[in-house]
Amino acid sequence: MKVIVVGPGAFGIKHLDGIKNIDGVEVVALVGRSAEKTQKVADDYGIPQVFTDLAEALKIDADAVILCTPTQQHAEQSIQCMQAGKHVQVEIPLADSWADSQAVVNTQQETGLTCMVGHTRRFNPSHQWIHKRITAGELNIQQMDVQTYFFRRKNINAKGEARSWTDHLLWHHAAHTVDLFAYQAGSKIVKANAIQGPIHPELGIALDMSIQLQAENGAICTLSLSFNNDGPLGTFFRYICDNGTYIARYDDLVDGKESAIDVSNVDVSMNGIELQDREFFAAIKEGREPNSSVGQVLACYKVLHDLEQQLA
């Protein structure tokens, strides 16, 4: 399978690292804004072609595209790729508006192509361990308590490099938890409330936010987000269940008494991005809907839209 990766930044490199471990997949082109930076990454990973124009890249012989570009471009580029006949995996978030989210789903339905969104938490072994116990009937979530904390008072990316676009706590970082909560609870979200702190004078976004969610089955979720937090950084998930408490810190999982749980055998890798990519390629080959398809995650973006209306 021939794949084009768009975006040679922090997450593009995460995908390139994951794809190296997947048999039968070849990255045939890398697309980026800067020819020099893109060429350097392409050289590091042995990628034969480099483009600075996505439209030109879509003319080459390739089956699929992975988009690791700024949030504001996700919807438009996803549609562009599908209209060019390519399967697409777009990094989270799918879009930063409800209208754009719906437009991507409509294009997927019209073309019949695979369109998957990078909701990585569905694939992290720690969260998979929880999900498998839920689907086996061994656990039910009563409450999720989630903290998403970074220190980003300047416009920088995950590698500490300057960004050309502004990240967003609601449309990007809350999307992970809103989707994961409904996925793990196995029940749609029926109530959602949000408050936010002051708007940053330069970035134009709130650096602190609090969200409450309730699923139709009664489970609740409390999510705290901040770009003001000076360590520790990352997202930490506490699952309070009817049969135990579990805390997920990326790929580490412990119980409520901090006893470690071995998740090394949950899947073929401990790398959530690699597992996400494996699902994308497998779904294309098998002609099936992938986990985290655009259709499956659409409800998350309706919740984000409703929360945005509240905050406005």
What tokens were used for 262? 């071995």
Pair (155, 103) in one structural domain = no
The answer on 233 and 111 residing in a single domain is: no
Amino acid present at 45: Y
Residue 303 domain-assigned?
no
Q: For 126-139, write each residue's pLDDT tens digit.
A: 999 999 999 999 99
Other residues' Cβ atoms within 10 Å of the Cβ of residue 85:
11
Report the C-alpha gap between 73 and 95 in whole angstroms.
8
Q: Are residues 127 and 109 in the same domain?
A: no
Can you give the pTM of this predicted structure?
A: 0.95
Q: Is the pLDDT of residue 199 over 90?
A: yes
Residue type, 203: L
Domain contains 197: yes
Bridge partners, 212 (sequence order): 193, 222
What element of type H or E holds 147?
Answer: strand 141-149
What is the model's pLDDT at position 158?
A: 63
Min mean pLDDT across 42-46, 115-119, 165-169 is at 165-169
Three-state DSSP state, 229: coil
User: Which amino acid belongs to residue 137?
Assistant: G
In a domain, 159, yes or no: yes
Do 143 and 254 belong to one domain?
yes
Q: Is 103 left (phi over 0), alpha (psi -120 to 50) or beta?
A: alpha
CATH number for the domain spanning 192: value is 3.30.360.10
Residue 267 lies in a domain: no
Q: Do 82 and 107 meet the contact criterion of CB atoms below 8 Å apart?
A: yes
- Write down the pLDDT at residue 162: 75
pLDDT digits (tens, 9 = 90+) for 227-271: 999 989 999 999 999 999 999 998 899 999 999 999 999 999 999
CA angle 141, 305, 291 (to 5 degrees): 50
CATH of the domain at 63: 3.40.50.720
- Report yes or no on 309 lying in a domain: no
Question: Is the Cα dihedral 135, 139, 145, 151 positive or negative?
Answer: negative
Say yes or no: 245 and 214 in one domain: yes
Structural domains counted in the chain: 2
Domain range holding 222?
A: 121-258
Residue 241 shares a structural domain with residue 167:
yes
104 and 133: one domain? no
- Please check whether residues 98 and 171 belong to one and the same domain: no
* Mean per-residue pLDDT of the chain: 96
Domain-located, residue 78: yes
Q: Are residues 209 and 190 in the same domain?
A: yes
